[in-house]
Structure 1
């Protein structure tokens, strides 16, 4: 079963201060450049976890080959549009004390158009997963919304990860809920869920969202996940123990782990556990993508 992911592809710069930040002067830091973008991260985790995955997005023309190759290495069929005039999006991530502050320039992602999302993207697809970043910008939202409508006309399920509490606060909860309504699954974190519903307690947030979606997976960070389904199912699972090196991409990994199990028709408990295991793996390393083992050296000698 193929999962199609639509969302941002980004060049991440992860900054980890090695001691307290010194205002207006130098702070020794570990700085890592790596590929990112919520949608692309989710696709990469899906591929590494063994799901047949396709990704559609947009990058600067100079970077399309490199980003396509990085996704292909994770097992992703990447369909990237090349933007001739706008650079690939960039984010500076300040990762410190178990949190990450992101300084975001979405770049070419803001030019994603209907032409970048042709009908054949949906061929053989069982689920279309949309990163919420693609719903915050009017032009991109129109393009992705059209793809979501075509998916539903084909009987393809849809899912949404809201993606950003800050962008939700700017856009407005009711507008976003209207755009996402009809998605079978939704994956907010607690801050996003509170923005979307006006509720505070996790159980109330999940219950409110379950009126719009068949499955709500409310991500609670170190406290695990709360699952609420339209059939009345409610349960909570704790996060497994993990050292937090860099929390960037943990939510993306959770989505991928959950959807990997969901694509195999496993129980919601298994889906939630798979998501939490992927998230624990993500926070244990720098960067938002799975770390891939280098290929084994090849010998030129005949055996």
Structure 2
């Protein structure tokens, strides 16, 4: 799309096996699933596809194995409009995988590491970063990711970080978007028990960057570094599978923010994108 915002996304690409069931099995219990899907996934890959659907020009930095699952993932990304020139194909290690048991209202996940994405991050150049408007990262706060964040800040590019249950403070200091869900925020070292709004404001102030939380059925909130908090409700739906809902939300928020929309409109855009995903199985259309 001519004039579209250019986004560099760094993080994981998986092949997912998603099983839908009414409840999670107990010890030695066999539970019959209602549906099963095997399809590409991974938080960064999902967000990259979501950003492409939002009209952004997206390049993904990640890694897959030189195997059938890796090729399937790459084909899916390209078909969805995501640039894969910066993807690493590892000839010695398989593609990462995840197994998800989804009950609609919740999920349990096991992940299996594969191709080393840090080697893909380490190959990102200053020119790669200067060629985009925005950098979005997902993953552990490693030195390889930290180097890319440093390149982005020196180049004056905006940054967003998916915390994904980790304390990403070492990479998050400075202007930008910090994205997480309410459960993740509640487990942070300086969380205010029972009050995610206070926690979001506290971290926004400490980081000098905005903190955005998804609140499940209660919508989402945006804590600005100035201290203001914006809340946006969401529609009541019966979720089918929550896999990738947060990634779709992130894509909508980032796309709206890059277009200069106010926080309430960005949250609405993200929530609508998430609703599209969680009312079916799997994060991809």
| 8 A Cα contact 1:247 1:282, kept in partner | yes
Mapped to 1, the partners of 2:56 and 2:215 lie a distance apart of: 25
Q: Classify 1:93/1:269 alpha carbon distance in 2 versus 1 (closer, same or farther; 3 Å).
A: same
Shift of 1:115: 4.2
**Structure 1, gaps ≥5 residues long:** 136-140, 292-303
Shift of 1:71: 0.8
CA distances 1:83-103 after superposition (whole Å, capped 9, x unpaired): 121111111001014111111
Shift of 1:110: 5.2
Shift of 1:120: 3.4
Mapped to 2, the partners of 1:20 and 1:198 lie a distance apart of: 29
Shift of 1:23: 4.5
2:19 alignment partner, SS class: strand
Shift of 1:114: 4.7
CA distances 1:176-215 after superposition (whole Å, capped 9, x unpaired): 3123223511011112212223212021111111111432
2:44 alignment partner, SS class: helix
Q: TM-score, normalised by structure 2?
A: 0.90
Residue 212 of structure 2 corresponds to residue 217 of structure 1:
yes
Residue 55 of structure 2 corresponds to residue 50 of structure 1:
yes
| 8 A Cα contact 1:159 1:184, kept in partner | yes
Q: Classify 1:243/1:109 alpha carbon distance in 2 versus 1 (closer, same or farther; 3 Å).
A: farther
Shift of 1:54: 1.2
- Identify, as 1 or 2, the structure richer in helix: 1
Number of residue pairs aligned between Structure 1 and Structure 2: 275
Q: Classify 1:194/1:280 alpha carbon distance in 2 versus 1 (closer, same or farther; 3 Å).
A: same
Partner of 2:151: 150
Q: Classify 1:92/1:183 alpha carbon distance in 2 versus 1 (closer, same or farther; 3 Å).
A: farther
Aligned-pair Cα RMSD in Å: 1.8
Mapped to 1, the partners of 2:26 and 2:149 lie a distance apart of: 47
1:59 is matched with which residue: 64, 86, 106?
64
Residue 9 of structure 2 corresponds to residue 16 of structure 1:
no
| 8 A Cα contact 1:64 1:81, kept in partner | no
Residue 69 of structure 2 corresponds to residue 68 of structure 1:
no
| 8 A Cα contact 1:241 1:280, kept in partner | no
Partner of 1:130: 137
Q: Classify 1:9/1:102 alpha carbon distance in 2 versus 1 (closer, same or farther; 3 Å).
A: same
Mapped to 1, the partners of 2:20 and 2:212 lie a distance apart of: 29
| 8 A Cα contact 1:19 1:28, kept in partner | no
